[in-house]
Chains A and B, each alone.
Chain A
Amino acid sequence: MGETFMYQYNEVDQTLVDERVEQYRDQTRRYLAGELPEDEFLALRLMNGLYIQRYAPMLRVAIPYGLMSSLQLRKMAHIARTYDKGYAHFTTRTNIQYNWPKLEEVPDILAELAQVQMHAIQTSGNCIRNTTTDPYAGVHANELEDPRAYCEIIRQWSTLHPEFAYLPRKFKIAVTGSFEDRAASQVHDIGLHLVQNDAGEIGFEVLVGGGLGRTPVIGKMINEFLPKEHLLSYLDAILRVYNLNGRRDNKYKARIKILVNALGADEFRRLVDEEWQHGRDGELTLTHAEIERAKSFFTPFDYDVTAATDTSLALQQAEDKGFNTWYERNTVDHRVAGYRIVIVSLKPYLQPAGDITDAQMDLVADLAEKYSFGEIRSTHDQNLVLADVKKSDLYTVWRALEAHNLARPNIGTLLDMIVCPGFDFCSLANAKTLNIADQINERFDDLDHLYDLGDIQLNMSGCINACGHHHVADIGILGVDKKGEDWYQITLGGSSREDAALGKVLGKSVATDDVANTLEKILEVFVERRQEEELFRDTFKRIGIDPFKENVYATAH
């Protein structure tokens, strides 16, 4: 199959990553030689994805808008094997993290990555981070336009942007191309939604000032229709207003959401429009040729028209219950008849969410090459996607995934959790998360029961920085430290989708051993009050938080 329609890195991109490796190598050398002060190296290494964590440095590698080739995934496997402990971790920003690299080996790792045009540029630090999008971009039926072309345009514009590398705080952009939001766009610094106006033209609805962390906020709409050619000049205006006016006296109040809240959306919009008047119709205006060039990297694959006539799938489903369960849970409708979108579950039993071994990466890379046009996507909820698998190949793909513990049929269920690494790895965390995820896995091991509960998003963070997005899940769990003990605060009714909402606190936090018990009580209420096949979020909207409170705390004394 071999042919790929991913963005093809050209000479300019290759030069950039190569030069950046040498630049960083020299920065590391000067730091180790004592020529570069700690605080400066901190900012520089962060802009190259390198944190110093609880036990070791952590290197975060960029996967632009979550799209990678088999070649690139094999390189990531190689790095896990050669420079780390044989595994890596996918994040909610669709990037990948290595938890045990050696500081002095990082330049070598970056050089290896550069061989496949990968890098760690701007995966951390107070700059524009990796732009994320819908993992089903281009293959889902209900799409207005493929958002990836615009992600690529934003990637180029934001990479090593000289003016916006020392922002007040980090800055995250998400782009969606359909009404359904699978990119948590409303809790991003900027959320861009492709929309169509009355004249049938395509543009963007622009939201600003969303975010999680200690001050969770849903983004506010400041432009209901931005013609697409103005994308970059408008982003440029937003970023300049933020760079000049965002707070720098307190890092916890430095995100754009604080500025937007302080000014109000109307005043912020006015400032952006005023600034935009200088750049509108200027050099940053996208040309038709540039938009078409970006789109050309994401044209549909050469799908097999005979795939639609497949009859093998129905037979396999009927004969193999395990396969059928996986098919129902872990594959999604494709817009082309005869194909399915396959979700590779990185939520196996009693393993950290999003973790993947080198052997698993190699396997997924092989499967992608053989059965999905050599392309893999990483998702906001820490799974992988093979976006273009023929129905007749599903059984083979499933067998291979299952043999490598990548086919647990739990996508969309309570066990498809977003979980940050927590206290076990992260120096910011207040509480452990991995043990709680295990506790929940052990308690809710009965998959039939899980399927009966329907789609439920459970997210968990080990501290108020909210990397596990606990605010925007049906059930959110936040680890807190009380006098040296881990306790867990539970929120209900959050959503990161098109109906974005922040969860409400259930009540006082619960002890480590009580988390699964508490979840059971919450789910008892749901099962009892649910109408027919109602989803948890709909029941919650209908009955509110009180019945849940009553059941959880009434028997606690």
Chain B
Amino acid sequence: MPLLINQKVVAQDSWQSVDVETLESVQNLPDGDVIVPLTFYQEHRELLLSRSGRLGLQVNGDDDWVALSAEQANVALIAVEFPVFRDGRGFSIARQLVRAGFSGEIRAVGDVTRDRLAYMQSSGFNAFVIPEERFSADDLGAFTEVSVNYQGTAADPRPLFRR
């Protein structure tokens, strides 16, 4: 699945998203950088923190924000899942992460397609995983379709009247 960072397609993604449902045991985790669900992390926290690769957490709107924000210093990436197109909780999660000072990668996963990329970026996402069948090279144009922003963005929180 194509990964966009800084509005460009990244050829190599060092991160592996772990399907914990099919994982036989926590010892079978692959080497390298892994993304695991927040709930899985909470169950195996010590072990995961002692691994050598980098750690990423995957969350969605049902997860506990307080628990996530308490762990943000321990992780290099937070993947925020958009379960369906209409679910907009991920926008606020990204916004909160930026506000809380999280400086790692904030990756949008799930139902991530062209027409929401610009809003995702403005809300604080800096990486986007787009399903293969929905990706087209034209999608990169989505970030610049609308140049006006009244409210401020994650990168520049000043509303128009303060710029």
A residues in contact (CB < 8 Å) with B: 12-13, 15-16, 19-20, 22-23, 26-27, 35-36, 39-40, 43-44, 126, 156-157, 159-168, 232, 240, 243-244, 248, 278, 282-284, 286-287, 289-290, 293
Interface of A, helix, strand, loop or mixed by DSSP: helix
In the complex, are the beta carbons of B153 and A162 less than 8 A apart? yes
Known: A12-B148, A162-B151, A163-B91. A40 touches B85 (CB 8 A): yes
Docked CA distance A44–B158 (Å): 27
- A164: which B residues are within 8 A, CB to CB? 88, 91
Q: Are B146 and A160 in contact (CB under 8 A)?
A: yes
From known contacts A39-B85, A232-B159, A283-B159, infer whether A19 and B146 are also in contact, taking CB-CB under 8 Å: yes
Q: Can you report 12 A-B residue pairs in the complex whose CB atoms are below 8 A from each other?
A: A13-B148, A15-B147, A19-B145, A19-B147, A126-B88, A157-B151, A159-B150, A161-B151, A232-B159, A282-B157, A284-B151, A286-B161
Give the CA-CA distance A189 to B1 in the complex, in Å: 40
Q: Tell me, yes or no, whether B16 is within 8 Å of chain A by CB.
A: no
B86 near A126: Cβ-Cβ < 8 Å? yes
Tell me the total A-B contact number using a CB cutoff of 8 A: 104
- Whether B152 contacts A284 by the Cβ 8 Å rule is yes
Partner of B88, one of A23, A159, A167, A286: A167
In the complex formed, the residue of A with least CB distance to B136 is: A35
Instruction: Give the nearest-CB partner of A239 in chain B.
Output: B92
By the criterion CB–CB under 8 Å, are B148 and A162 in contact?
no
Contact B99 A23 (CB under 8 A): no
A470 to B95, CA, bound (A): 39
Contact B122 A162 (CB under 8 A): yes
Per-position 1/0 for B81-104, Cβ under 8 A of A: 000011111011101100100000
Given A12-B160, A232-B159, A243-B88: A44 in contact with B115 (beta carbons within 8 A): yes
Which one of A20, A35, A166, A282 contacts B91 once the chains associate, using CB atoms below 8 Å? A166
Residue of A nearest to B146 (CB): A19
Chain B minimum-CB-distance residue to A287: B161
A168 to B122, CA, bound (A): 20
Decide: B150 and A156 in contact? CB cutoff 8 A.
yes
Asked if A165 and B61 sit within 8 Å, CB to CB, the answer is no
Expressed in whole angstroms, the minimum distance between the Cβ of B113 and any Cβ of chain A is: 7
Rounded to whole Å, the gap between the CB of B111 and the closest CB of chain A is 9
Q: Given contact pairs A157-B151, A163-B88, A165-B88, enumerate 19 new A-B contacts (beta carbons under 8 Å).
A: A16-B148, A19-B145, A39-B85, A40-B85, A43-B86, A156-B160, A160-B149, A161-B151, A162-B122, A162-B123, A162-B149, A163-B95, A165-B119, A166-B88, A167-B88, A243-B89, A283-B157, A283-B158, A283-B159
The smallest beta-carbon distance between B38 and chain A, in angstroms, is: 15
Q: Measured between alpha carbons, how far is A211 from B70 in the docked complex, in Å?
A: 37
Pairwise interchain contact B115-A40, C-beta atoms closer than 8 A: yes
Chain A contacts of B150 at CB under 8 A? 12, 156-157, 159-161
In the complex, what residues of A have CB within 8 A of residue B116's CB?
166
Check if A278 sits within 8 Å of B99, measured CB to CB: yes
Determine if B86 and A243 form an interchain contact, defined as CB atoms under 8 angstroms apart.
no
Contact B162 A160 (CB under 8 A): no
